[in-house]
């Protein structure tokens, strides 16, 4: 028997980097509510007492960025200086300018010119049968832990908890099949008037056991606030930036990543829209039983509509040759930016909620890239 271990991590919505992702996507949503044709590339930085919003935005509408920032911070739970950032008292700096004409002329659809990709780049999508959501088990469990940490905090079950936090899960595989969780790491930001024993007992009983269940055993190694204290957290402890948690956002390192971040970008940016389509393709291939594991790569050039390459890898689990699957993908799935946007209905204000707990493996009707509605068509290729 071949035994291996794989580890993935997640962060709560109060982690400084995730705060930035949510602010950037909240601004994007606010603009899309008024102007679906807007071009948005919005980046955020947070640090002690300060939020800075920068980027390129071209739109016919106006949104009050400071108001969006404060509402987002309040929703997350940064409601006092003690929490690491106060939504009421923090300073907010903006530096926004329009998208350059050089990019605009390649992206906009005009007479004689099809809408091209908003930038060059390569995007990966992945799916496997380790979970019902067709996600790798380590990242799925890591997200479930951080989500429950935040849920218990908001519901008053962890009165001492503050917004910042992280999880890490190591899964043990036997001959490529997940069988148990070998270790769990939890770091949770907390108020000063709580002892470490209470933190560890509460997190184990109210978060870890409900999420992991039978995957835990007496040999599972648990590390809950391993330094003993986590009193200073959030932006007060660590500066945050949009787009710095791209592995958390996708597959936890289990699959390859092209390097492009998602948050703050409108769907004309293939970093986002093509990554969603690649996930949709991979998930439908696996759901249709054409493979047990599938990775899809799409690549683009700025201003060009057609992808430069389409790559499919099934890691020896495919019912059809990988090159045949490439032909099927090109025939059955829209791959040009405008067609992707239309097919997945991406010009909607749906993005703030993607900015924490992963963009994939979520059961939400707005996450159209998670649908498996192409399975019946794909199954016909097996007959």
Which sequence positions are flagged as catalytic?
15, 17-18, 43, 56, 166, 230, 238-239, 244-245, 265, 269, 271
State how far the Cα of 34 lies from the Cα of 331, in Å rounded to an integer. Answer: 35
Cβ neighbours of residue 40 under 8 Å, at least 6 residues apart? 27, 28, 31, 32, 55, 56, 57, 59, 264, 265, 266
State how far the Cα of 359 lies from the Cα of 162, in Å rounded to an integer. Answer: 24
CB atoms within 10 A of CB 169: 29
Cβ neighbours of residue 62 under 8 Å, at least 6 residues apart? none
State how far the Cα of 161 lies from the Cα of 64, in Å rounded to an integer. Answer: 31
Tokens matching residue 188: 């949770």
Tokens matching residue 254: 């289990």
State how far the Cα of 289 lies from the Cα of 98, in Å rounded to an integer. Answer: 45
Minimal CA–CA distance to 147: which of 196, 178, 188, 192? 188
Segment (H or E) for 20: helix 16-34
Please tell me the chain's helix, strand, coil percentages from 3-state DSSP, rounded to the nearest 5.
35, 25, 40
* CB of 69 closer than 8 Å to CB of 51: yes
Segment (H or E) for 356: none
- Residue 189, SS3? strand
């Amino acid at each position: 028997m071949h035994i291996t271990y794989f580890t993935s991590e997640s962060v709560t919505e109060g982690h400084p980097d995730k705060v930035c992702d949510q602010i950037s996507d909240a601004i994007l949503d606010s603009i899309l509510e008024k102007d679906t044709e807007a071009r948005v590339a919005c980046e955020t930085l947070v640090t002690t007492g300060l939020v800075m919003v920068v980027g390129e935005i071209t739109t016919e509408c106006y949104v009050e960025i400071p108001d969006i920032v404060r509402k987002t911070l309040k929703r997350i739970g940064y409601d006092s200086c003690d929490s690491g950032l106060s939504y009421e008292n923090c300073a907010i700096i903006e530096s926004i300018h329009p998208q350059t004409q050089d990019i605009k002329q390649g992206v906009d659809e005009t007479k004689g010119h099809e809408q091209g990709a908003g930038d060059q780049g390569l995007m990966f999508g992945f799916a496997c049968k380790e979970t019902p959501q067709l996600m790798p088990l380590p990242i799925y469990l890591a997200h479930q832990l951080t989500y429950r940490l935040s849920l218990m905090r908001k519901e008053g079950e962890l009165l001492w908890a503050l917004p910042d936090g992280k999880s890490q899960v190591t899964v043990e595989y036997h001959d490529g099949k997940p069988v148990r969780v070998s270790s769990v790491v939890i770091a949770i930001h907390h108020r000063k008037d709580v002892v470490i024993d209470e933190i560890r007992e509460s997190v184990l009983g109210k978060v870890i056991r409900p999420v992991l269940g039978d995957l835990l055993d007496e040999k599972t190694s648990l590390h809950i606030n391993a330094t003993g204290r986590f009193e200073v957290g959030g932006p007060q402890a660590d500066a945050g930036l949009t787009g710095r948690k791209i592995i958390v956002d996708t597959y936890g390192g289990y699959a390859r990543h092209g390097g492009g971040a998602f948050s703050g970008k409108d769907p004309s940016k293939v970093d986002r829209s093509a990554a969603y389509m690649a996930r949709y393709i991979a998930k439908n291939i696996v759901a249709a039983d054409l493979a047990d594991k599938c990775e899809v790569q799409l690549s683009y050039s700025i201003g060009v509509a057609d992808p430069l390459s389409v790559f499919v890898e099934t890691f020896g689990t495919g019912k059809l040759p990988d090159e045949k699957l490439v032909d099927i993908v090109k025939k059955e799935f829209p791959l040009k930016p405008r067609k992707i946007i239309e097919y997945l209905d991406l010009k909607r204000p749906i993005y703030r909620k993607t900015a924490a707990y992963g963009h994939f493996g979520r059961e939400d009707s707005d996450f159209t890239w998670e649908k498996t509605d192409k399975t019946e068509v794909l199954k016909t290729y097996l007959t």
